[in-house]
Amino acid sequence: MTLPVARHPDAVVHARVAPRGALENLSQQEVDRLLDRGQGGLYPLFRRCALAVLNSGAASDDARLIFDAYRDFELRLVREPWGVKLEIHNAPGSAFVDGQMIRGVKEHLFAVLRDLVYTHEEIITRFDLADPASITDAIFRILRNARLLDYRGRPDLVVCWGGHSIPRDEYDYTKKVGYELGLRGLSVCTGCGPGAMKGPMKGAAIGHSKQRIREGRYVGVTEPEIIAAEPPNPLVNQLVILPDIEKRLETFVRLGHGIIVFPGGAGTTEEILYLLGILLDPANAGQRMPLVFTGPRASAGYFTQLDRFIGLALGAQARDRYRIVIDDPGEVARAMQRGIELVRRSRRASGDAYNFNWLLRVPPPFQQPFVVSHEAMAALQLSPDLPVHERAASLRRALSGIVAGNVKEHGIRLVERHGPFELHAEPGLARPFDELLQSFAADGRMKLAGEYRPCYRIVD
């Protein structure tokens, strides 16, 4: 595939930026890591994530186009006795107003720097990331360092999942649901990107404003590989970057007190399978987690097909863990409010924390990173004979690979070089899985911009 000639979509800006509220103090070793452009250094990763943050709002989810359009973008870290300042060259002009970086963009930029430094210096080198308990502790520490755990009020955080590539009526509906959540004093957590990740925050902000709530939380949870395709939207006021998709997903289910699912594509289905796979583990039989699937009336068919797929792939027990509400934002918010009150009572009775669900068991297959490759995708076991939580884990990994092939730079380049990923599935799973994915493609749910070319094929 030939990429279009790279052109800057707007004027570029050169600037020097100082951190606000964090990173005033960095050790010389940490500064050296940030300056290191070689293998093992943090500079290449920070440059990619920083460019994505500065390019927030662009109408593209192809990481290559972003990086090629700003191939001359540079970050230079200026050493000072107390830490660093950033010299930024050839940055997207949309991140600035009259030569000054927009404050929210600046906060996001330094959140990226904060989390990359902390993860490299305090997590990767000091934790056994093959041990389940150690992984959960590492996630807790990343969130604590990012100050996401400072909140000590009653449970109120609603995680909203849904596609970044959705039609206008679905986007407007996510805003209506967010508005109803905001009126009830509930906060919102999403994957922080556009579409169904932005709409609920926008609506909640209006609801909070009407209720004179000035400390509403709009939490964005992302990871380095996906941030270019889904850069933080401007409403996010608490951003955290986890090392990989598995730790990102575990963050959602440990931070959140309830989950709403809007229409989406492969990534949204991956999140659903992750959650259902965990909740279907016998160790989590007593876990409270209100889960509502919802969309406007025009999206009823989407949920009918998704519900059918879940029934065929995971069984009736999985379908019992969620409720489908069509075209009723007020009822969705009321269901969350009722469910979260049950969560509060359950956490209080069990002695678990309100701000981090320690008692939820996340089985190892849901914690270990899945490194996407043609060999790894072909080796996945997609069989109806597997135990239900293992079946969910394998399907989740298959979808993770498809998401990588759709929007992540590494996955896109793998498919360009070696062709589509091959998935080997037994007939009981192959047909409903393929039908679901084809329906996503037909509805334009696989990609935000440009023609969608399938990055997979299913072989039964």
Length of the chain measured in residues: 460
Crossing angle for the helix pair 388-407 and 266-279, to the nearest 10 degrees: 160
283-289: long-range pairs with CB below 8 Å, 24+: 283/361, 284/360, 284/361, 286/346, 287/357, 287/359, 287/360, 288/339, 288/342, 288/343, 288/346, 289/253, 289/256, 289/258, 289/259, 289/321, 289/339, 289/343
- The 3-state DSSP class for residue 290 equals coil
Q: Which domains does the chain have, with CATH numbers?
A: 12-103 (3.30.1850.10), 142-350 (3.40.50.450), 369-459 (no CATH)
Q: For residue 303, what are the CA distances in angstroms to 55, 270, 297, 396?
A: 33, 15, 10, 18
| pLDDT score of 7 | 44
Q: Which residues, at least 6 apart from 351, have a Cβ–Cβ distance to it below 8 Å?
A: none
| pLDDT score of 6 | 39
| pLDDT score of 5 | 35
| pLDDT score of 428 | 84
β-pair partners for 84: 79
**Rg, the chain, Cα only:** 21
CB atoms within 10 A of CB 202: 19
| pLDDT score of 87 | 87
Tokens 């902390």 belong to 118
Q: CA–CA separation, 97 vs 165, rounded Å?
A: 28
**Structure pTM?**
0.90
Q: CA–CA separation, 381 vs 386, rounded Å?
A: 8
| pLDDT score of 39 | 53
| pLDDT score of 360 | 96
Which of 212, 208, 192, 173 has its CA nearest to residue 112? 192
pLDDT along the chain (460 residues), means of 10: 41 74 60 64 84 76 70 80 76 87 90 89 89 95 95 94 91 98 98 92 97 95 84 92 95 97 93 95 91 97 94 93 97 98 95 95 93 94 90 93 86 92 90 89 74 83
| pLDDT score of 40 | 60
| pLDDT score of 406 | 84
